Amino acid sequence: MTAQSPLVFNITRSTSLRPQAERDAILANPGFGKHFTDHMVSIDWTIEQGWYDAQVRPYGPLMLDPAASVLHYAQEIFEGLKAYRHADGSVWTFRPEANAARMQRSAHRLALPELPVDLFVESIKQLVSIDAAWVPSAPETSLYLRPFMIANESFLGVRSAQKAAYYVIASPAGAYFAKGVAPVSIWLSTDYARAAVGGTGAAKCGGNYAASLLPQQEAYENGCPQVLFLDPLEGKYLEELGGMNVFLVMKDGTVVTPELSGSILEGVTRASIIELARDRGHQVQERKITIDEWRDGVASGAVAEAFACGTAAVVTPIAALKGRDFIVGDESAPAGELTMSLRQELTDIQYGRLPDRHGWMTRLV
Ligand code: COI
């Protein structure tokens, strides 16, 4: 087999760049996932050719045949990572190789082609270089990057697609939750599971998020911005939130998080928090946690703090867990001390305010 030479990106600049005043207005109040930059990346794949035609091109609609398999069988995966502007104006991203590797694992589970790690990282660099003016600089803001892959073969037979495409789009981002980093209440879903054992729960695929939307809506109706799922077999053990991993901090400083059960997404933020907590000398346990342990632990004082984490919302303190007929914790409780200090340390590394002792940061611009 001959080694494939690296793909060269063909760059087509947009001829209708958003005016600076419009961009500045967006960057001053970006919200989350609402606005998109001027360009996008696309790379095509076929079973015969492998990856080809890498492009940076103007942001715009995709042309899809109505028979494209993604529209029928949801053969789709995605990633989420951020570009951060440092005080000197340079732009960096956090552990992109971890996202690239996870995308390969997701691709494997969804029978999609695996994008080489260096091509993933290069695609991010290409997009952020051309759209660097879209990386905001206000505190807690970033450029959220959304790589995704779809099967786009026009074929209704049920088998893995022989044609796919990878894209990256970018969206300036402020706080994920409306209230910023304030503590949130979360809703315990008892009627629905997020993912089955042996299913796609460990893959970052759109289908998992689709399955979370109805219970997520139930959460909103009960005043909670996120939903917590229990394990699909016994409905007893914590799994994860609709789009974030979950942690408890015990009174003795032990940090616990559900073990990777096969139906939990292996969050990059989750892994980083585990390392940062261990660096500080905390005992960190990845193990089964029952919902009763949380409930009883809050009542007895054994559970001191709870938080959720993910790329989009970073680390979010959990004030209370609500269900149909119970509430654990106090909805007006302040954020936990360790929660906020881990959040601070992580964001200090991401924004270049602390030395990158783990080698997590990659410079983009
Ligand atoms: C993330 O934190 O990146 C997520 O996966 C949440 C979401 C926006 C899908």
**Ligand 1: which atom is nearest the Cα of residue 33?**
8
pLDDT of residue 6: 86
**105 residue type, one letter:** R
The answer for residues whose C-beta is within 8 angstroms of residue 238's C-beta and 6 or more apart is 228, 230, 231, 246, 258, 289, 290, 291, 294
Quick one: 184-350 is in which CATH superfamily? D-amino Acid Aminotransferase, subunit A, domain 2 (3.20.10.10)
Distance 275 CA to ligand 1 centre (A): 20
**Ligand 1: which atom is nearest the Cα of residue 311?**
2
pLDDT of residue 5: 72
Same-fold call for 10-173 versus 184-350: no
pLDDT of residue 3: 55
**Residue-wise DSSP of 213-234:** HHHHHHHHHTT-SEEEEE-TTT
Backbone torsions φ then ψ of 73, nearest 5 degrees:
-120, 10
For domain 10-173, which architecture applies?
A: 2-Layer Sandwich (3.30)
- pLDDT, averaged per 10 consecutive residues of the chain (365 residues), comes to 76 98 97 98 98 98 98 98 98 98 98 98 98 96 98 97 98 90 95 93 97 97 96 95 96 98 96 98 98 97 98 96 94 96 98 98 98
Question: pTM for this structure?
Answer: 0.97
The answer for residues whose C-beta is within 8 angstroms of residue 257's C-beta and 6 or more apart is 245, 246, 247, 248, 270, 274, 284, 285, 286, 289
Distance 82 CA to ligand 1 centre (A): 11
Backbone torsions φ then ψ of 361, nearest 5 degrees:
-95, 140
Pocket of ligand 1 from Cβ distances under 6 Å: 80, 243, 310-312
Distance 40 CA to ligand 1 centre (A): 19
Residues forming beta bridges with residue 43, ordered by sequence position: 166
Three-class DSSP category at 47: coil
Angle among Cα 172, 178, 179 to the nearest 5 degrees reads 120
**Ligand 1: which atom is nearest the Cα of residue 269?**
2
Domain ranges of the chain: 10-173, 184-350
